[in-house]
Structure formats: structure tokens, C-alpha cells
Amino acid sequence: MRIDGGCHCGFIAYEGEADPETAAICHCTDCQKLSGSAFRTVVPVQDSDFRMTGGKPTIYVKTGDSGNKRQQAFCPQCGSPIFSAAPGDGPKVYMIRVGTIRQRDQFAPKVQVWARSKQHWTNDLAAMRSVEKQP
Amino acid sequence: MRIDGSCHCGYITFEGEADPEKAGICHCTDCQTSTGSAFRTNVPVPGNAFRMLSGEPAIYVKTTAESGNPRAQAFCPKCGTPIYSTTPGDGPKPSYMVRVGTLRQREQFVPKKQNWFRSAQPWLAALADIPKNAKQG
Ligand SMILES: [Zn+2]
Ligand SMILES: [Zn+2]
Ligand SMILES: [Zn+2]
Ligand SMILES: [Zn+2]
């Protein structure tokens, strides 16, 4: 389906084509740190389907446990994480951060990866006290 | 308890004092966009108990809160990791809302409460049922 999204401040905007069946949660410790949250939610978008329509993200290249390098793109003005991709030139797959997609409600994750470092309380959210707004 | 944390690249490091009983989830749409994820996890650290040890975060002042209150959002300018939010401007801060994912002790900060639940992603309630891979699938 068509998607469009951007960072919180509006500097970064993009559009593309993504399949909700391929949305996923990543519980790896890198994603916990880089999101500042419990996990990350991602969906792949092919190079040919992805178009940046706003500003230029800052790129941070992280080196994984495997030694693989990975570009992490974020907004230089508000910090919103936008995507990760392989470094260098040539066609890529962009792993878009689902929280930045305007249609994010339609991207329910279908798989959880790196479950070995999962924060286990995330299984029990239905039982956790909740308030509609902020107290 | 004592906490310490950092951004992913190591430029920003901090330490402080935080109560695990005060850890919470924020499901507001601002937090969804700013984390790129489904929600944010926070714990308050009193202003006088928070100390930056290295680095200088970039500050984004967001003004979209329903209350109209501006809020400073701190993140690492080199790797983008969100670090905390606080009241904007100079001078001592009453408190910092530290992003739990940046804490070395994050396993000990199990959220006790979910705020802004009206915009929570509905699939979260059944997260335990989503198929899992121990590593990458
Ligand atoms: Zn931005
Ligand atoms: Zn990950
Ligand atoms: Zn950093
Ligand atoms: Zn929030």
C-alpha cells in the first residue's frame, strides 16, 4: 500500500510503498538503545518505491555484532529515527521506522525478531494500568 | 536506585537516581513519531539527581502538546538516540524524563502505567501471540 511519513518537526518527509504483512518488531539491544524505548517497529520499502520529499537525514553508521555496518538515518533537527539501510551506493532496502508512517495504525507487526533480548513485560501490556490521557 | 546510561554511539553519557516504580509508557502520537516505534518508555529523574557526564545533546523544542506547553526533547546529534525531555530554557530543571531504552539498568525498569492509552497501537495487547525468532528471521 501507499505510505507517507516524516519526522516530528516536519523537516524530513518521504513516501513509498510497503506491505503491512512484512511489518516486524525488533527487540535487539541496538534498537532498544536507538529508540530509547522497549523495541523498534519496522517495515521494508524497496529502493525503487521509496522517495524522500523533504530534508536530508543525518546518517549514523553502526557496526553490529556480526561486523555488518548499517546506516541509521534520523532527523538532524528533532532526532526522529527514519530508516536504516545498507551503507554505500546502489539499490537498497529501507527499513522504515513504523512510528513515523502516517498510516502506522495499519502496520500491525507480524513477527518479532531478536526475541532473546526482549523486555518480557511487553507480553503483559493488556494487564498494565492505563489512562486515556496524561494524569 | 542509581542509574547510568548513554546513547548508542557513546558520545552522550549520564547518571542519576530513579525509582523503578515510576517507570511508565507513553502512547501519545508525538512519542510514536519521535521514537519511530509504537510507544516510548520513560522514568523521571529529579533535576538535582541528574548529571550529564559527557557530550552535549541536541535540543528540539516541541510545541504540539495538547496542553500547549513547550517541551525540550534531547537527543544525540551524532547517532540520534533520544535521551530525555525536560522543561525548555536555562536554569535548573525540576526533572528529566529519561528514555528507559538508554539506561544500562533498563531491565529493572518495568513500566507500571500506560499514559495516553487512547492512541495506543491496538496490536500491543496481543504482542505475546506474535511469532518470535530468537535472532533475525
Ligand atoms: Zn525532524
Ligand atoms: Zn534491532
Ligand atoms: Zn550518540
Ligand atoms: Zn508521549
- pLDDT, one tens digit for every residue, chain A (135 residues): 999 999 999 999 999 999 999 999 999 999 999 999 999 999 999 999 999 999 999 999 999 878 899 999 999 999 999 999 999 888 899 999 999 999 999 999 999 999 999 999 999 999 999 999 886
- With respect to residue B134, please indicate whether it lies within any of the assigned structural domains: no
Distance B26 CA to ligand 4 centre (A): 4
The verdict on A106 touching B (C-beta cutoff 8 Å) is no
Alpha-helical regions (H) of A1-135 = 29-35
B66 exposure class (CB count in 10 Å sphere: 0-12, 13-18, 19+): exposed
Q: Answer whether residue B125 is part of any domain.
A: no
The CATH number that domain A2-119 falls under is 2.170.150.70
Question: Is B80 close to A58, i.e. CB distance below 8 A?
Answer: yes
User: Residue B137's pLDDT band (boundaries 50, 70, 90)?
Assistant: low
**Smallest Cβ distance to A110: which of B7, B8, B130?**
B130
Return the CATH number at B108. Answer: 2.170.150.70
Q: Is residue B88 part of a domain?
A: yes
Q: Tell me the CA–centroid distance for residue A72 and ligand 4, in Å.
A: 23
Instruction: For strands B24-26 and B113-115, give the pairing.
Output: parallel
Q: Is residue B87 part of a domain?
A: yes
Task: Give me the number of domains chain B comprises.
Answer: 1
Of all residues in chain B, the one with the smallest CA distance to A71 is B79
**Which residue range is the domain that position B111 belongs to?**
2-120
pTM above 0.90, yes or no: yes
Contacts with A29 from chain B: Cβ below 8 Å: none
Beta strands in B18-115 (DSSP E): 24-26, 40-46, 51-54, 58-62, 71-75, 82-86, 95-99, 113-115
